[in-house]
Amino acid sequence: MEISKVYDRSRVPLYIQVASVMRRRIETNQWVPGQKISTLVELEREFAVARVTIRQAIDVLREEGLLRSQQGRGTFVAERPVSRHWFKLATTWDALVATIKNNVPKRIKVDNPPPTPILREDEGKIAPRYVFMRSLQFKDGEPYGIVSLHLADEIFRRAPREFRQHPALSVLAGLRGVRVRDAHQTVVIGGADLITAELLRIELGAPIAECRCVVLDPRGIAIYVADIIYRSDAVKLHIDLLAGTRTSAQSGRGGAKASRRRRKLASESIVYIDRDETRNPPGSYGAIR
């Protein structure tokens, strides 16, 4: 494979592309902690780029704590490379609330904030009024996330001080009398724009994880709409594919009985639906479709 053709397909600066390849070698233990990496001449030949590009790539990884240089000896993989992808994206409500409850957000002043969120088809109805807040999330003094939040005014007024000082979702989860009908989070991969790159201290166009979290109340009103941007080198998505299987297995005979009961109800419901889809006769289980 001609590596120059790979470079040509990307608008990302060459030294960033080279740094990405070298970073991946460290993450996969192709380059192990303490190992001396190839010389500048060897790397220049391998990557088919100028020596200054190799130096820039090494500087990036050195700033990230992944490489260290010793004068007269060369460049080595750090003995204890900085932990990456430490922030696990939650896949349940309880896990999400627990993950962020101890965060201390740094509020960002926003001139002319958007009065309402733009809701998609499956994201509920607009509340009469919203409060908009934007904040930065930090770990060890380094920013890793930007939160842009629309919070329903009626919810904000119940605990304005707490919402200003703590992660809004954890405050919302602790409010008495607030019921949640639906909550979902979507994640897509994007590239950092100018403002994002400046706030998160990353390169323009660097990969980012764009998360959108929407919470609906029983009326179907979106009371919490957050667009969250994470540095891609800080987050990971871990999904337990056997969680449901283990739950079923642990339920034992009780679970089996419940399963048979659900199948029976579903069967009876299907029978009635087949007979007449416009009504639910006495004894039918119309809630099961």
Which amino acid would we find at residue 140? Answer: D
Q: With 0-12 CB in 10 A as exposed, 13-18 as middle and 19+ as buried, what is 152?
A: buried
Query: Taking a C-beta distance cutoff of 8 angstroms, is the pair 105, 137 a contact?
Result: yes
What is the rounded average pLDDT for all residues in the chain? Answer: 81
Lowest mean pLDDT among 88-92, 103-107, 121-125: 88-92
Residue 99 sits in the same domain as residue 214: yes
pTM of the model: 0.65
Give the model's pLDDT for residue 287. Answer: 32
| Token pair belonging to 280 | 């639910």
Give the model's pLDDT for residue 283. Answer: 36
Residue 251 sits in the same domain as residue 229: no
Q: Give the start-end residues of each E strand in the chain.
A: 67-70, 74-77, 87-89, 106-108, 130-139, 142-152, 182-191, 207-216, 222-231, 235-237
Q: Please enumerate, as own/partner, the contacts of 176-181 that have beta carbons within 8 Å and a separation of 24 or more.
A: 178/217, 178/223, 179/217, 179/218, 180/93, 180/215, 180/216, 180/217, 181/216, 181/217, 181/218, 181/219, 181/220
Residue 217 sits in the same domain as residue 251: no
* CATH value at residue 165: 3.40.1410.10
Give the model's pLDDT for residue 262. Answer: 47
Domain interval for residue 207: 87-237
The rounded distance, in Å, linking the Cα atoms of 114 and 131 is 9
Indicate whether 223 belongs to any domain.
yes
Query: Taking a C-beta distance cutoff of 8 angstroms, is the pair 235, 202 a contact?
Result: no
The rounded distance, in Å, linking the Cα atoms of 127 and 8 is 48
Residue 126 sits in the same domain as residue 65: no
Indicate whether 280 belongs to any domain.
yes
User: What digits encode the pLDDT tens for the residues 182-195?
Assistant: 999 999 999 889 89
Domain boundary among 56, 77, 98: 77
Indicate whether 21 belongs to any domain.
yes
Indicate whether 219 belongs to any domain.
yes
Indicate whether 271 belongs to any domain.
yes
Give the model's pLDDT for residue 89. Answer: 79
Please report which confidence band the pLDDT of residue 14 belongs to, taking 50, 70 and 90 as the band edges: confident
Distance of CA 214 to the CA centre of its chain: 13
* CATH value at residue 60: 1.10.10.10
Coil/strand/helix, residue 180: coil
Residue 69 sits in the same domain as residue 94: no
The rounded distance, in Å, linking the Cα atoms of 90 and 183 is 12
If you search the block for the tokens 């304005």, which residue do you land on? 160
User: What digits encode the pLDDT tens for the residues 134-193?
Assistant: 999 887 788 889 999 999 999 999 999 999 999 999 999 999 999 999 999 999 999 889
Residue 55 sits in the same domain as residue 130: no
Give the model's pLDDT for residue 9. Answer: 59
The rounded distance, in Å, linking the Cα atoms of 102 and 99 is 8
Residue 184 sits in the same domain as residue 233: yes
Q: With 0-12 CB in 10 A as exposed, 13-18 as middle and 19+ as buried, what is 99?
A: middle
Residue 149 sits in the same domain as residue 220: yes
Residue 279 sits in the same domain as residue 171: no
Which amino acid would we find at residue 165? Answer: Q
Indicate whether 250 belongs to any domain.
yes
End-to-end CA distance of the chain: 54
Indicate whether 159 belongs to any domain.
yes
Q: Please enumerate, as own/partner, the contacts of 139-143 that have beta carbons within 8 Å and a separation of 24 or more.
A: 139/86, 139/87, 139/234, 142/201, 143/199, 143/200, 143/201, 143/231
Residue 125 sits in the same domain as residue 206: yes
User: What digits encode the pLDDT tens for the residues 200-216?
Assistant: 988 778 889 999 999 99
Residue 134 sits in the same domain as residue 203: yes
In the predicted model, is pLDDT for residue 1 greater than 60? no
In the predicted model, is pLDDT for residue 259 greater than 80? no
Query: Taking a C-beta distance cutoff of 8 angstroms, is the pair 28, 66 a contact?
Result: no
Give the model's pLDDT for residue 276. Answer: 35
Cα angle for residues 62, 65, 70 (degrees, 5° grid): 50
Indicate whether 82 belongs to any domain.
no
Residue 91 sits in the same domain as residue 131: yes
Domain boundary among 31, 51, 77: 77
**Count of domains in the chain?**
3
